[in-house]
């Protein structure tokens, strides 16, 4: 059975991958169709992915400083 820490990290990594893939889709769609709404949506998705990377780093550091496994 996996720990809550492992489950949380797997979930956050999955969200990061999904946000980056959605961002890539938004930018790709904008470059191919020129639909103006897809570029900001794609860029916001990339920003969300970066925010989740920062959150994952913060989460790991917090668990390490509190000695939680």
Between helices 4-33 and 38-65, what is the axis angle to 10°? 160
In the chain, where the domains are located: 4-63
- pLDDT higher than 90, residue 5: no
In this predicted structure, the answer to whether residue 1 has a pLDDT above a threshold of 70 is no
Percentage of the chain beyond pLDDT 90 is 78
Question: Rounded to the nearest 5°, which phi and psi values hold at 66?
Answer: -95, 0
């Amino acid at each position: 059975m996996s720990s809550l820490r492992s489950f949380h990290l797997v979930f956050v990594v999955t969200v990061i991958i999904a946000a980056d893939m959605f961002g890539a889709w938004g930018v790709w769609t904008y470059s191919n169709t020129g639909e103006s709404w897809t570029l900001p949506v794609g860029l916001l998705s990339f920003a969300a992915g970066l925010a989740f990377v920062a959150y994952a780093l913060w989460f790991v550091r917090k668990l390490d400083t509190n000695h939680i496994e």
